[in-house]
Structure 1
């Protein structure tokens, strides 16, 4: 439920608390837009933004047609039923915490 502004403010607060003047950010998957937001809002502090397997603009037909069926279902669910999508995401993350080795092997 955090906004981009909430996340960038939290990152800035953490860096301030740790006395880190400049740093790099890493955005994996859905974290990509947040890493880019940090780079945009803190250009004097963020020296690089690394984006790995991140989200892109899925409203472009060529990108939408290139997505896997599973991704179509997830994006549709997120759009039509954010609460159900959130529950599914929490359950998935629970599974990752229960067996992180399996998650890493699947990556």
Structure 2
């Protein structure tokens, strides 16, 4: 790797880090504006590898688009499974504070 390439890589990673910080600052600002709370789930949370029904975790290649649980037999789209797991993770975080994350229709609501 040449010195120029190393400098470019360093600048690129700094720019990516700054853009992530800028996006999170914007999200925090918008949450304050709308009196809601920003909940961040760990980036290594296995949302697409965990069964949303029974909690079984399995390794899956990215090419596999359907989650088939060997424990409870659930067969569901991988992205839908991940979104349900993320919704449930947010509910657990908010419920730990003594509040419910779901309104009567089952959707998420803003929490001040």
Could you say which TM-score interval applies, normalised by the shorter chain?
Answer: under 0.3
Larger Rg: 2
Greater RCO, 1 or 2 (C-alpha within 8 Å, sep 6+): 2
The normalised TM-score by structure 1 is: 0.23
Q: How does the TM-score come out when normalised to structure 2?
A: 0.22
Counting helix residues as a fraction of each chain, which structure ranks higher? 1
